[in-house]
Amino acid sequence: MASTGEHHLLSTEIVNRGIEPSGPDAGAMTFSVRVRRRLPNFVQSVKLKYVKLGYHYLTKHGIYLAVAPVVFLLFGAEVKRFGRKELWHMLSNSTGGYDLVIVLALFTLLTFTLTLYIFARSRSIYLVDFACFKPDDDLKVTKEEFIELARKSGKFDEASLEFQKRILESSGIGDETYVPKSIMSTEKTSTMKEGRAEASMVIFGALDELFEKTQIRPKDVGILVVNCSIFNPTPSLSAMIINHYKMRGNILSFNLGGMGCSAGIIAVDLARDMLQANPNNVAVVVSTEMVAYNWYPGRDRSMLIPNCFFRMGCSALLISNRRRDYRRAKYTLEHIVRTHKGADIASFRSVYQEEDEHKFKGLKISKEIMEIGGEAIKTNITTLSPLVLPFSEQMFFFSNLIKRYFSGTTTSEKSSHRLPPVQQISQFEPSSSATKPYIPDYRLAFEHFCIHAASKTALNELERNLGLSDKNMEASRATLHRFGNTSSSSIWYELAYQEAKGRVKRGDRVWQLAFGSGFKCNSAVWKSIRRIEPPATGNPWLDCIDRYPAEALSS
């Protein structure tokens, strides 16, 4: 039976099993309860502090915008009192000095306010282009081949193989994902040598394509940010890139480790901050994960799950703050909102790297990962909403929240956390008098959705909670099916999918939502500068885009 307080997190079905034939309860009706873990309903218990945080982001520089019109109106009203001849006479003579002082003071204040706003305003950040690595076909495996190779490696018993097979069948992953050859060998794969070999393959493959597409020289790159959660050698991956491409000696280099699947947006955020501090510059952001180094050869089921989902992948972006790059850039960065739940011990331990009882290293996935992830996502979306939702949607949401508050709906929800599970079920059966929560229509704020392709279950739950359509989730499901979970780079494979379909038009807004260990959830919003034509080269979807969307994606 579910623990108290999980009525938002579990889908519960009570099944009548008939009459108990024997025992102390003979003759009594018996029931069984089926419980399936789900994401929490995002709008059932919205915390206003996160809504306020979103408006804080929105009005960060609003003081300048508020002061400037007031000063301008006062200045205009003061000048309007005088005719042209009177104003000239006042400026050329000492008479009327008091009025002249007021006019000049207001003019100075107006100039100072506008100047302060211009310098305080963030510089525009352009995404010139990006590249996603596509491995060679000899690294491609079907789900059946994956299990057979795992069996031949001799690292798993039959129970572990059967468990991985069941996970794969319901994972949403197709038969064309990529894995390193080394993981199926009988030898140990999580070695520095194997990690460096895989890193060189995926990172240099993505960067070679990026430099070719953008025609920029590696020596022109002023800022380099690399994120890889598990594999962090010395020298770092960023140093490996600098050495390989012979980049300049004064490059600002950063290497982010241990930050999970949401680290791609964190890396973009860091690159943005560095570009704000270093004008007329370009940055390269590389997001990847090493599959072989993260391979778990043991029998702990919670640590076998990553084996089934994670696949090879890497993305590389070229970001610029140079005005001359506007004409050739694809997108401008509008917003980044980051949420970190690491202060909570359950969130901190939800995705945890450790050794099992046999000293095999791996990632342990908590059974409460859906609930924990859902809370982080809900917090992030609540903070993001004031920045992106149309005013009408915000009004509907707040009026509904106030109505539910005064009708006592939110109070009853809080008090029901103390009820036993069976009473919780009856407590929340539909009632005609209860005010239903209003779910904002995020399709009015974004034309394209790139939600981290973590698993089929996570994507289904996010679609349900956010009120999205199958088409909105198409890029995420297609990426999971074709490339698997490529960790922090998955959101870029999804954007590459939208471009390959020719769907990105001028002015479209793209929402990238990523979540991972910590527990963290991050959002990035991009706006298309121009229509993106379907590429002839340099896109990982070119050989298979016509096969998507497949019917299997929505099943």
- Cα 44 from Cα 109, distance rounded (Å): 47
Place of tokens 């962090």: 232
- Cα 390 from Cα 21, distance rounded (Å): 60
Q: What is the number of helices (H) and of strands (E) in the chain?
A: 18, 15
Strand order, beta sheet including 314-320:
252-256, 223-228, 282-288, 314-320, 126-132, 331-340, 520-528, 509-516, 448-451
Active-site residue flag, 228: no
Q: Which amino acid is at 455?
A: S
Cβ contacts of 79 within 8 Å, gap of 6 or more = 87, 103
* Share in percent of the chain as helix, strand, coil (round to 5): 45, 20, 35
Active-site residue flag, 261: yes
Structure-block tokens of residue 158? 């039959």
Active-site residue flag, 7: no
Closest by CA position to 50, among listed 424, 470, 380, 536:
380
- Cα 474 from Cα 274, distance rounded (Å): 34
Active-site residue flag, 89: no
Which of 132, 261, 308, 521 is an active site residue? 261
Which of 380, 400, 448, 522 is an active site residue? 448
Maximum C-alpha span of the chain? 112
Where are any strands of DSSP class E within 351-444?
Answer: 351-355, 361-365
Contact between 44 and 417 (Cβ < 8 Å): no
Which of 294, 380, 465, 485 is an active site residue? 485
Active-site residue flag, 244: no
Q: What is the DSSP string of 314-343?
A: EEEEEEE--GGGTTT--EEEEEEEEEE-TT
Structure-block tokens of residue 443? 């399709």
Cβ contacts of 68 within 8 Å, gap of 6 or more = 110, 113, 114, 117
- Cα 82 from Cα 476, distance rounded (Å): 64
Active-site residue flag, 485: yes
Which of 255, 307, 452, 521 is an active site residue? 452
- Cα 405 from Cα 408, distance rounded (Å): 5
User: What length is written for the chain?
Assistant: 555
Q: Please identify every residue annotated as catalytic.
A: 261, 340, 448, 452, 481, 485
